[in-house]
A and B are shown apart, each in its own frame.
Chain A
Amino acid sequence: MMSKRSIAQVLVGIDGNTVLFGARKIKTKLITEIHKHDLSDQVQVIETGSIGPANQGVIIGIYPVGEMYGNITEEEVAEFVQERFVKGRPYKKLLLSERLPVGIDLTAYDSRKTQYFGRIVLDNCGKINPEDIEEYIGVEGYEALGIILKEKTPEEVIKIIQNSGLKGRGGAGFPTGLKWSFAAKTKITPKYVICNADEGEPGTFKDRLIMEGDPHKVLEGMAICGYAIGANAGYIYIRGEYQLSIERLEKAIKDAEKLGLLGKNIFDTDFDFQVKIKIGAGSYVCGEETTLLNSMEGFRGTPRFKPPFPAESGFLAKPTNVNNVETFANIAPIILNGAEWFKKFGTEKSPGTKVYTVLGHIKRSGLIEVPMGVTLREIIYDYAGGMSSGKFKMAQMGGTAGNILSSEFLDIPLDFQSLSGVGYSLGSGAILIMNETVSVVDFMKCCIKFFTHESCGKCTPCREGTRYIYEILDKISLGKGKIDDLETLKLLGENMKDTSFCPLGQSAPNSLLDTMKLFPEEYSELLKK
């Protein structure tokens, strides 16, 4: 609960990006300036997670008016406070056209043209201080956990998640409720709940901003899962590069334990749930769930053979349920509002919203949460403000392991079903938009180089295939390629897709094969005459 009811609140978005632009210093300066004008009782400065557009420097938002300001510098703070709070008028110089979500009405999701239509996962991001558990509690935080512990059986919880139609948001789109039911069935204990926060897919940073902006929501989702499957221990496996996320999660865990919302006898029931953090050490393949388990156990990050599936034999050979950060962030809202409410968002077969990171040659890059089924055209022109330069050429959907969409795909609805209909997958949520200045062969060289580095070396198709493909692409780019090379590339790519051991090798050639189909002339014109 907000401790003091001030007349206005100034939100300072502090995340990995804005820190670079001095967000912390600006926050301190705001407090000093507001104090100087003796306005401290009326204007409260609140640190929060990512507020919105990510390429606008330090962003501050003002409640209740909903104004947002970007690119503010330390030098401008004094003038800003003077104008906005002493004189009481908008500080036009830095005012952004976007507005804070004021009085969100979740039915507003029909009017897709506005940037903020109501959000599920990111609802609190930029609204509450992620380092203050009281504020999370103030927005119905931990209520879902309380309700299920007192009123619902584990079976009922799983049923709700199943009925909601929620699918895993890590990329593969496996039904979450079904996954939980596997781990719930087995009698073997202890069981583990693991949150996969090893977000390494290039272009993806949605999980980072969820953890930085609303860490408790992830923890609450994990605890609910623990109750549903019968686990008393949870782990968050997080990339070593995500310093701020690690700090905020550590604090969140401590604070929740202090209030009895995690740890022993949660809500005075006999349910215990302890969460610990495990830090990764720089390996992309560890985002694959069985590889993640090996890494968590202190071994090299190589995938395991399935079956047995983690639900049967996972971490330390015990039943384990692994879900993505975004998946866990959907859980508490579903419990609170019900499966039917969740199904109002998105499409019939892919309910809910999807958090995307939109990047590249566009005007506004950053994080958006939109209903499933929004098209690429809407994302580029309505949400991202259009191309920053040049003409749209292609988009890589779902990160480096994803597919390539050319202009003919601009109007395809982005959801699990529609994309699998054209042989594509939704992937991690990264959308990299490129204009005509990008050379396809050069871009593919960069993508495949990434996989040569990240291939774990366990299986031959992936270990050798990635290197061989890179060599050929390099040759072609230097004008030394022959016509047969194209055939070899295709053969290698298809072989990798069919025979690689884990999803890394199976998806590495996706973009290569797509671009060879969509832009064959870019390959052939480089070939030796």
Chain B
Amino acid sequence: MTIKEIINKYGNKRENLLQILHDIQNQSPQNYISEENIKTLSEKMKIPVSDIKGTASFYTMYSFDPRGKYVIRVCESPPCHILGAQTIFKAIETKLGIKEGETTKDGFFTLEGTSCLGVCSVAPAMMINDEVYGNLDEEKIGKILEQIREKESK
């Protein structure tokens, strides 16, 4: 959809800005909101670029930088922490060779930390795009990442 179509879907009102930003980001293959998109949005919605950026940068779900096709978000909140979230982070970092906030060279994965995902009964947990994975350990993480790689290489 073009930006104009997305705006029309919700209505050209400030109160719909967050939904519009969600849609723009979701349709980007690199999971982000580009400078160009913000400029177009600014013209169409008559909101200054600085204001849109100021608002969007407040929320952790939006990114202004290109991210991997798969965004891995590992929960860092206390319930996951006491059940070993740190080892999950380390396992992913070792497997993918990236640190928090970085993207793999092939552009597949970005690793991020996140606040509570609300699936604490299967802690430690993470989300990859819209999918939630729980009861994680090193072995399970290896399998999950391999499955995604396999799917991609086909």
Contacts and interface: CB of A to CB of B under 8 A. Distances in A.
A208 interface: yes
Contacts of A298: 13-18, 55
A282 B60 contact: yes
A35 to B, nearest CB: 29
Interface string A419-454: 000000000001010100010000100110110011
Contact of A301 (B16, B59, B76, B79): B59
B22 interface: yes
B120 interface: yes
Contacts of B116: 200-204
Contacts of B118: 16, 199-200, 204-205, 208, 239, 241-242
A300 B58 contact: yes
A450 B77 contact: yes
A283 B13 CA distance: 21
B132 A16 contact: yes
B123 interface: yes
> Among B22, B55, B78, which residue has the most Cβ atoms of chain A within 10 A?
B78
Contacts of A262: none
B60 A281 contact: yes
Given A16-B119, A298-B16, A443 B82 contact: yes
Nearest to B121: A54
A278 B59 CA distance: 15
Given A17-B119, A17-B121, A365-B121, A449 B132 contact: no
A279 interface: yes
A174 B62 CA distance: 34
A295 interface: yes
B61 A443 contact: no
A357 B78 CA distance: 14
Contacts of A204: 116, 118, 120
A55 B15 contact: no
A55 B79 CA distance: 14
Contacts of A296: 15
A204 B77 CA distance: 11
B15 A297 contact: yes
A200 B116 CA distance: 6
A107 B11 CA distance: 50
B130 interface: yes
Given A17-B134, A282-B61, A450-B115, A205 B15 contact: no
Range of interface residues on A (Cβ < 8 Å): 35 or more
B25 to A, nearest CB: 9
B21 interface: yes
A143 B93 CA distance: 54
Contact of B121 (A200, A205, A284, A438): A205
Contacts of B62: 281-282
Interface string B14-30: 11111101100000000
Contact of B119 (A205, A240, A301, A430): A205
30 contacts: A16-B119, A20-B133, A20-B134, A54-B121, A200-B115, A200-B116, A202-B78, A203-B77, A204-B118, A205-B118, A241-B118, A278-B18, A279-B19, A279-B22, A280-B18, A281-B21, A282-B60, A283-B59, A295-B18, A297-B15, A300-B55, A357-B120, A359-B123, A361-B82, A400-B78, A432-B78, A432-B82, A446-B81, A450-B76, A450-B78
List the 9 closest pairs (A to B, CB-CB), nearest first.
A298-B17, A202-B77, A281-B59, A54-B121, A282-B61, A282-B60, A202-B116, A205-B118, A300-B58
Given A202-B120, A446-B77, A446-B78, 20 more contacts: A202-B77, A202-B115, A203-B78, A205-B118, A205-B119, A205-B120, A242-B118, A279-B18, A282-B60, A298-B13, A298-B17, A299-B55, A359-B123, A365-B121, A430-B79, A434-B82, A438-B82, A443-B81, A449-B76, A456-B58
